[in-house]
Amino acid sequence: MADLLGRARIAQLINKSNQFNLTTRRYSEAQIARLETDPAFFTLQVRLADSFGDNGMISAVICVRNQHDWQIDTWLMSCRVLGRMVEHAVLDEIVRNAGLHGIRRLIGTYLPTPRNKLVEEHYGRLGFDLLERADDGATRWELAVDKYLSRNPPIAIAQSTPDGAGGQA
């Protein structure tokens, strides 16, 4: 997922992002380093440079493999880049990598907090189907990888995969 500097920024995002953070799970730099090399996990870091400038690291995704599914454990994004279709490009990259790893379904979870209502319907807006809604507002969603249709966001993805672990866009 990251070099040492990138990992520090990912840990910062994971531990401070609240609004665009679907589960608000928190991880230390050491935990992130372990996930990056564990084949049971897919990790993705996203940096954004566009006509508005270089925004640096703006998103992180952690997926956990469960047979032919990836459970999206963590998906967060800096709010300063909302409205630029970055979430569509990130999903395209997740789906592309899922296909390469033989994954059939993505399972996304939204765990509500007082600050992340902004992303309550995130998965629904991206084409996931609702599986269940709990009394506390938590939801589980699924997306069949082979049925996914990209919205072709106007974003070019440059990928780098250090040591064969995870990926970054």
pLDDT, greater one: 106 or 78: 106
pTM of the model: 0.88
Q: Nearest to residue 96, comparing CAs of 28, 152, 40, 37?
A: 152
**Domains (ranges, CATH) in the chain?**
4-168 (3.40.630.30)
Report the phi/psi class of residue 27: left, alpha or beta, with left for phi > 0 and alpha for psi in -120 to 50.
beta
**Alpha helices (H) in the chain, listed in sequence order:** 4-16, 29-37, 86-100, 122-125
Residue-level pLDDT at 31: 95
Would you call 144 helix, strand, or coil by DSSP?
strand
Span 43-100, pLDDT tens digits: 999 888 877 788 888 999 999 999 999 999 999 998 887 778 899 999 999 999 999 9
Share of the chain above pLDDT 70, in %: 90
